[in-house]
Structure 1
C-alpha cells in the first residue's frame, strides 16, 4: 500500500523547450533567428522558449518530469540537469559523447527525469561548448512536507550570469585553442544588465518588498567565469540551503556563490522604506594571476510602502574587495548539514584519491617539444593529476602552493609539459570514495568549482596551503558536513569530500569554469552495477539518439564493459 500511495502522490510534469536563435523584442512573437540587443549592439544567442534565463522548471519532490527539447538552433545541443541525481538514469544526464549523442539541428529529444530525495534549488543548462551562457534556467524542487524553516511569503529565483558580445560559438573555439584573453562584456541578474551599462535599462527592479514579509531567494550562478559576491544594502541573508540540500541556518550580509552552485537564502524586508541596490560582484585572484576587467551588476529592491514626493536614490551596499578570497572561504566554511534532514557520512573510505588541479601546456600539432610559458607554439591546458587515467596521486609531487610558480616561467616551466587526454576511474558499486582536491599555484590560483554528476558529496573540511593527511584527516567533520554537488576548492588550498558510489552509470566530474573545462579539467567516474536488478543500470530508453545515424549508444559496448547490466528498459514516465 505504501508503494501505491507513493506512486499516486507523484505527478508527471511536462515541459517543452524550443531552442532557437531569438531576439528580445517588445512583442511576444517567437521567431527563429533574431537578436538580443545589449550594450548598444545586437548579438545572436541561443535561448529556450524566447527567455533569458530560460523557463524555470518547478516540480515537487517525487515528481516525474518529461522535458521535450526541440532543437531549432544551428548547433548540436544537450541539456544537463545540474545537480539532479538521475538515479539509475545516467542516459538523461545530458553530457555529449559521454552519456548521449547531441540533439542535432532540426531534431528533438524527450528527457525523462524523476526527482526523489532532493529539495531546493538546482538548475539546467546546455552542456555543449559555451552555449550555457545563454541557454540555462532554474530548476526548483519543492518539498511535499513543510520547509524546515518558516514558510516564506514569496520565492524569487535570482540567476546570475554573464553577457558576451562575442559570439558564443566563437568563444568556445577560442577557449579550445587555449586563448586566455576573452572576458565577458557584462554581468546579468535574471538576464538584465541593470543601470551600470550603456544602452541598458535605467533601473531593473528585482522585487517589490512588502515590509515585514520574508522572501526566499533562490540564487543560481550560471556564469562561465566568475564566482560572485552578492549583497543587498541594509539587509541580511539567512542561508538555509545549498545545491538542493538543507544547511543549518546561518546569518550573513554577503553570499559567495561559485559557478554551478546554488544557494537558498531568506531575506526579511525589515529595512526602512526606500530603495536598495542588490549587487553581484565577480571575485578573482589577485596579481600576479592574469587579471580580467571587474564584473559587476546591480538591481534595485524597492519597498511598496513609502511617502509621497520624489524617491531618494537607492542605497548601495559596501562590497568586499573582489580579490578577497577569505570572503568565499569563510562563507563556505559556515555551512553544515541540517542533521534532521540529511544522513551522516560513512565513517571510513574504501578508496582515496588525491587530485591536484593545475595548469599545464601541450605542444601544437602533436610535436614532442616546443616553446611554452604562453608561447603560440603551445596550448594551455588544465589537468587533474596530469594523466590519462585518474590515478590515486599526482605523478610528480611538488610544493603545490608555492607562490613562485604563479608567473609564467622560469620556476614553473618544468611542470608545464602534460597530456591532452581523457581521464577515467572505475568504481565498485557501493564503494565509499574520498577525494582530496588540491588547488595549486601553477600559472593561476583560481578556486575551482568541482562538480560531480549523479551524486552528492559530503564536504568534510577545507583548508589553506598544502593538504597534510596526518594533520588534516583528524579535522574531518563526520557529524554534519554539508552535502553538495559542486565544491568550491579554495584558492591556494584544498577541499576533502566523501561520497558513496551507489548510482551505476557513467558520471562526469568537471570544473565549472568553462575555460577550465574546455582546456581539459574533467574526468569520468564509471560506477559499476550492483548485485541486483534494482541496483543495475537499465539500457537506454527506446527513443535514445543514435550517433552519426548509425551507432546506438549502449552501456555494454561503450562504457560499462564487464559490469552486470540488466538490459531492462527505462520505465517511461
Structure 2
C-alpha cells in the first residue's frame, strides 16, 4: 500500500481557462442538434483471403465497420447487439466523453463487457469536436476487425473548414489482416504475455491489395477514382494492432490539415507517418499527369539489435478518370528502419490558431510533474514466487510504466470509484510513481538483448496501477522510451482528454536543456502521442473531466502486456464538474440490481478488495 501524498491546489488559471473554453465551445453551437442513431450487430463470420477461410468478428457483416457521420454538437446513440461468442466493449477513440465516462467502453475499467447474446446502448455527445476520430473494440486483438471511422463535420458545413473546401472526402483506413482466429491470438497473449503470431497482410479500407495473391490471383485493392484538378480530403486512420506506417502516393503530395480531430497549421509533405490510434487529415490535389498511381502503406520497425518481425506492406491505387490504362506508377519509399522519419513528421505538427475554431490555452503553470519510462520486464505469474533464472513456466514477459505492469482489476473500477467501494479508493490501489525507481542511460542499445545487463534494471511490479488528479489540475508528463528488451516507439493514448505535445526528441530527456525547447504557443493537441523510438515526448493536459480514464500504449502487445495505467480525475466543486450516476441500462458483471432508476452495485462490488503490488523475488 502506498503512502498518501500531499495535494497541491490546481492552478487557478488552468481551471478558469478550461471552464471558459468548454463554456464557449458549447455555447457557440446552435441549439438545433440531431440524435444520430446506429445499431451495431456484432457477429462472427468466415472470410476468405490468401486462399484461407478465417473466422472474424465484425460489425454489421463488414470490415471496416460502418462509419458514424455526425455534425458538431450532435448526440450519438449506438445500440450494440452482441451476437458473437466473445465479450465485447466498444471504445469511441478520441471522443472526450465529458462527464460521461460510463460510455468510454473499457472492459473492467469503465464497464463490465457486453456478454454474448446481451446488448448495451452507448450514448455520447460530440459537442466541441470537429474532424476524424474512430471507434474500435477494446477487447484484446479484436479491434483488428471491429473498427470504423467517426467523422464530425463542422456545424456551418465544409465551407467553414480553415483550408480550401475539398471536392470529396474519403475515409482511408489502414489496418492488418490476420489469417488466423484472433481470439486464439488474444488467449495466447493473455496466457503468456508473449506473441509469436504476426499479421499476414496489411489492408487499406479492408482490402489487401495486389501485393498479395491467392494461387497467383491478386487480391482486390482499394481504388480511389479522381478527376484532374480536384482536391480530396483523406481521413487517414491507423487501426493496425502492431505497426506504425509510412504512407506515400506516387507523384503527389499531402497537405496535412488536422490530426486527432484538431486542426493543425497546414504543411506540405510527400510522406505521412501514422501510428496505431492516430488519425491524420490530409488534402491531396489531383495535379499529376492522368494515369494510375500507387498509394503505398509500409510498416516501419526499429532496426537491429531490436527483434525483426514480418512487416507486410500494402497498396491502393489512385486512378484518374481520364486514364487510358497502363501500369500504376510506384512511389519511392523510405527505408523500413528509418524511424527518425516518424520524429520529423510528428515534430512538424503545430496547432492552427483560427478565430472560428478556438483552442484551449496551453497550461503555463503545472500542478503535477510525472516522468514515465516505458519498457519491458519479467514478472511472476499471479500467485507464484519465482526467479528469472528458473527454468519453468512461472515467468512472463510484461510491459511497464515506471517498472510497473498493469494488472486487470477483478471488478470494474469506475462504478467502484463512483460508489466509494473499499479497495478502489486512493491508498487501496498502487499509485503510479512520479518517476522510475532508478536513473540510468534509458536508451542504451546494449540493453535491448536479454542478458545480465538489462536484468539489473528491469525490476518489475504487477498491480492495478492508478494516478489521482484533483479536478482542474494542470499535469505535465514526460514519456521516456527505454531500450529494456526493445527499442520500439510507443503511441500513448489518453482517454477522455487531449494532450498538448510540447516537445519531443531522441535519446534521454534532459530537463535542463529540453524544457527550454517547449512550444507553449501553438503545440499540437492530440489524443494519441507517439513517443519516438529510443526517445521522449513531453505533454501537458488539464484534468477537467471527472472519471476513471485509461492511459495506455496503442500497440496491442504492449497493451496486453501491461503498458497501462488508469487516471482518476476527482469530482469538481459543482454538479456540472462532477461525474453523474451511471445509466439505467449500465451492463453488470453479475445480477443487475437497480434502485430509483440508477444502478446499485452488485454485492461483489461492495466487498472489500485488497489490490496489492507483488514484487518478483530474485530479480
User: Does the TM-score normalized on the shorter chain lie above 0.5?
Assistant: yes
| Distance change (3 Å), C-alpha of 1:21 and 1:180 | closer
Question: Following TM superposition, by how much is the alpha carbon of 1:416 offset from its aligned partner in structure 2, in angstroms?
Answer: 2.9
Q: Does 1:256 align with 2:273?
A: yes
Residue ranges of structure 1 left out of the alignment (5+ in a row): 23-34, 561-573
Given candidates 110, 113, 117, the residue that maps to 1:99 is 110
Assess, with a 3 A threshold, how the Cα gap between structure 1 residues 555 and 414 changes in structure 2: closer, same or farther.
Answer: farther
Query: Could you say what secondary structure the match of 1:380 adopts?
Result: strand
Q: How far apart in 2 are the matches of 1:129 and 1:457?
A: 25
Spell out, residue by residue over 1:35-54, the C-alpha distance to the aligned partner (whole angstroms, 9 max, x if none).
Answer: 10011100001000111000
Q: Does 1:386 align with 2:403?
A: yes
Contact kept? 1:175, 1:515, Cα under 8 Å: yes
The 5 A counterparts of 1:446-485 are 446-485=488-527
Write out aligned runs for 1:348-387 (5 A).
348-364=365-381, 366-371=383-388, 376-387=393-404
Give the 3 Å change call, closer, same or farther, for CA 405–142 of structure 1 in structure 2: same
| Deviation per residue, 1:467-516 (Å, 9 max, x gap) | 11111111110000000000000011100000000000110000000000
Distance 2:587 2:469 in 1: 27
**In structure 2, the residue corresponding to 1:546 is in which secondary structure?**
coil
Provide closer, same or farther for how the CA distance between residues 500 and 214 of structure 1 changes in structure 2, counting only shifts above 3 A: same
Counterpart pick for 1:303 among 317, 320, 328? 320
Q: 1:398 deviation in Å?
A: 1.7
Find the aligned partners of 1:521 and 1:69 in 2 and give their Cα distance.
Answer: 28
Taking the TM superposition and a 5 Å limit, the aligned residue runs for 1:372-451 are 376-387=393-404, 388-451=430-493
Give the Å deviation of 1:367. Answer: 3.5
Q: Distance in 2 between matches of 1:373 and 1:458?
A: 44
- Equivalent of 1:39, from 28, 50, 54? 50
1:115 corresponds in structure 2 to: 126
- Segments of 5+ residues of structure 2 without an aligned counterpart are 1-24, 405-429, 607-619
Measured in 2, the distance between the counterparts of 1:3 and 1:377 equals 53
Is contact 1:465–1:493 with CA below 8 Å preserved after alignment?
yes
Give the aligned partner of residue 41 of structure 2: 18
Q: 2:227 aligns with which of 210, 216, 236?
A: 210
Per-residue CA deviation, residues 261-287 of structure 1 (Å, 9 max, x unaligned), is 000000000010110000000011011
Does structure 1 residue 75 correspond to structure 2 residue 92? no
Higher RCO (C-alpha under 8 Å, 6+ residues apart): 2
The 10-residue stretch of structure 1 (243-252 or 409-418) with the greater mean CA deviation from structure 2: 409-418
86-95 vs 311-320, greater mean Cα deviation: 311-320
Q: CA RMSD in A?
A: 2.1
> Alignment partner of 1:141: what SS?
strand
Partner of 1:549: 591
- Mapped partners of 2:443, 2:367: distance in 1: 28
Q: CA shift at 1:556, angstroms?
A: 13
For 1:467 and 1:6, the matched residues in 2 are separated by 41
Aligned to 1:65: 76
Match of 1:187 in 2: 202
Distance in 1 between the 2:514 and 2:602 partners?
A: 40
Q: Following TM superposition, by how much is the alpha carbon of 1:178 offset from its aligned partner in structure 2, in angstroms?
A: 2.2
Contact conserved, 1:229 with 1:257, CA < 8 A, in 2? yes
**Residue 117 and residue 298 in structure 1: after superposition, are their counterparts in 2 closer, same or farther (change >3 A)?**
same
The answer for the alignment partner of 1:490 in structure 2 is 532
Distance 1:433 1:509 in 2: 14
- Would you say the 8 A contact 1:422–1:522 is kept in 2? no
| Pair 375,336 (structure 1): closer, same or farther in 2 beyond 3 Å | farther
| TM-score (normalised: structure 2) | 0.85
Cα 1:534–1:267 shift into 2, 3 Å: same
Matched residue SS, 1:411: helix
1:6-25 CA-partner distances (Å, limit 9, x unpaired): 56421110011001112xxx
Report whether the alignment pairs 1:507 with 2:524: no
Distance 2:251 2:504 in 1: 31
Partner of 1:540: 582
The structure 1 residue matched to 2:238, chosen from 216, 221, 224, is 221
The CA deviation at 1:417 is 3.3
CA distance in 2 between partners of 1:413 and 1:183 (Å): 27
